[in-house]
């Protein structure tokens, strides 16, 4: 798997928040229901993104999470790095510590390009723009049709 489940869940919830009106809080309960993700597990993942200041939380009735300015400006790459770490984009495809252009593994040159294209894919747009694009294109972020861009 390219991205961990935690990571995918974090991305989908981030896209959910990107679809909401700026500044508005959305409860984790709502997101977990609409995206069909375990509530407690999603809570834990989003705590990481809140700690990393991509989101802001507010407790109590009508509380929840919302994207911060940093979050709205963030790309999916930023979120992936925050959850899964940077290794995918820096390490050798065969996991060989000494691999480099001096003494490369058989995949080295190809992998440099390929991993850059993965990064480019994730860096293409910000959450803010993805929120707007989602409304236009009705992008899928849930398995079922439980979520819809209002």
Q: Could you list the residues that contact a second copy (CB under 8 A)?
A: 1-3, 5, 8, 11-12, 15, 76, 87-88, 93-99, 103-108, 110-111, 113-114, 117-118, 121-122, 124, 130, 133-134, 137-144
Asked if residue 148 binds DNA (CB under 7 A), the reply is no
Extended strands (E) in 33-130 = 55-58, 64-67
Min dist. Cβ of residue 22 to DNA (A): 17
Q: How far is CA 93 from CA 78, 87, 88, 110, in A?
A: 21, 10, 8, 10
Min dist. Cβ of residue 118 to DNA (A): 17
Cβ proximity of 12 and 35 under 8 Å: yes
Which residue from 15, 17, 46, 82 is in contact with DNA, where contact means CB under 7 A?
Answer: 46
For residue 127, give the nearest of 22, 45, 5 by alpha carbon: 22
């Amino acid at each position: 798997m390219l991205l961990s489940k935690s990571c995918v869940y974090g991305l989908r919830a981030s896209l959910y928040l990107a679809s909401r009106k700026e500044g508005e809080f959305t409860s984790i309960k709502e997101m977990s229901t609409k995206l069909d993700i375990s509530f407690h597990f999603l809570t834990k993942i989003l705590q990481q993104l809140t700690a990393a200041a991509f989101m802001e939380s507010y407790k109590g009735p009508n509380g929840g999470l919302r994207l911060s300015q940093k979050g709205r400006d963030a790309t999916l790459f930023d979120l992936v790095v925050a959850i899964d770490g940077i290794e995918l984009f820096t390490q050798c495809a065969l996991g060989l510590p000494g691999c480099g252009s001096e003494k490369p593994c058989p995949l080295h040159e190809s992998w440099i390009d390929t991993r850059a294209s993965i990064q480019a894919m994730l860096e293409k747009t910000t959450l803010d723009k993805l929120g707007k694009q989602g409304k236009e294109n009705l992008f899928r972020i849930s398995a079922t049709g439980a979520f819809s861009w209002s």
